[in-house]
Amino acid sequence: MLIANLYRILASALRRPTRAATPSPTFYPIDSQSLADRANREVSHD
């Protein structure tokens, strides 16, 4: 029963538009940029 509910929630989430599935526009660019900067720093230090 719990697994069926999880599948139902997952299916409904996949059925939504991609805009609803993606993170908030205010957070996503900031997070991706900070992650890119962190990765670039780690690579350059090596």
Q: Please name the residue that has the structure tokens 């997952």.
A: 10
pLDDT at 46: 53
Q: Give how far Cα 32 sits from Cα of 12, 13, 20, 35, Å.
A: 26, 22, 18, 5
Quick count: other Cβ atoms within 10 Å of Cβ 9?
Answer: 10
What distance in Å separates the CA atoms of residue 13 and residue 41, rounded to the nearest whole number?
A: 35
1-46 pLDDT per residue, tens:
788 888 887 777 667 655 555 555 555 555 566 767 777 777 665 5
Q: What is residue 30's predicted lDDT score, i.e. its pLDDT?
A: 55
